[in-house]
Structure 1
Amino acid sequence: MSKPIEDYGFIGNAVSGALVARDGSLDWLCLPRFDSPACFAALLGDRENGHWQIAPSVPVHAVSRRYLPDTAVLETTFETTAGAVTLVDFMPFTGDEHYVDLVRIVRGDRGRVPMHMQLVLRFDYGRIVPWVRRQRYGISAVAGPDALQLRTPVSMLGRGMHTVADFEVAANTCVPFTLAYHPSHRPPRRYKNATARLNDTVERWRAWAGRYTCDRPAPDRWRQALVRSLITLKALTFVPTGGIVAAPTTSLPAQLGGERNWDYRLCWIRDATLTLYALLNSGYRREAKA
Structure 2
Amino acid sequence: MKNVMSNKTVIALYVLPALLLILVLVYVPIVLTGYYGLMDWDGIGKMKFIGLENYIDLLKDKMFWSSTYHSFQLAIFSTISLLLYLVISLVLASKIKGSDLLRKIYLIPMLLSSVAIAQLWLKIFDPNNGMINSLLEMMGVENAPVWLADPNVVLYAIFIPIIWQYAGFYIIIYYAALKNVPEELVEAARIDGANPVQIAYKIKLPLIAGVFKVTIVLAIVGSLKYFDLIWVMTGGGPNGASEVMASYMYSEAFKSYNFGYGSAIGFALLVICLIMTWFIRKLTAANDNNNQF
User: Normalized per residue, which structure has more helix?
Assistant: 2
Considering only CA atoms, is the larger Rg found in Structure 1 or Structure 2? Answer: 2
TM-score of the two chains, using structure 2 as the length reference = 0.22
What is the TM-score with the length of structure 1 in the denominator? 0.22
Question: Larger RCO: Structure 1 or Structure 2 (Cα < 8 Å, ≥ 6 residues apart)?
Answer: 2
- Structure having the higher strand fraction is 1
